Amino acid sequence: MYRGLAIAAASVAIAGNLLCIYYQTYEVTLALRLMAGIGAGVYAGYDEASEAARPPLVVTEPDVERSGRYDEVYARYLRLSALLTEAG
């Protein structure tokens, strides 16, 4: 039984690689590779496989010093944009 699952998993992985060559979407090839991982026993099931494929959540806090500079430059841009719009 395990041999059949391993062959099926290898087949799905190979199909996923071939789809990459033919410019299929990343989501399609990712799904095939995750199913291959489930079939090969790398993942216990769909829940574990989808959790492994989910990227970690990273929160980036703004840099107060840089955001002040950005506000200055953006205000200048808005003024110039208004002047150029008026000039036609």
Query: pLDDT tens string for the chain (88 positions)?
Result: 456 666 666 666 666 555 555 556 777 778 888 888 888 888 898 899 888 888 888 888 888 888 888 999 999 999 999 999 998 7
* pTM to 2 decimal places: 0.41
3-class DSSP state for residue 59?
coil
Q: Which domain holds residue 79?
A: 2-87
Q: Tell me, letter by letter, the H, E, C secondary structure of 22-44.
A: CCCCHHHHHHHHHHHHHHHCCCC
The number of folded domains in the chain is 1
Closest CA to 39 of 2, 64, 73, 70: 2
Helices (H) and strands (E) in the chain, counts: 4, 0
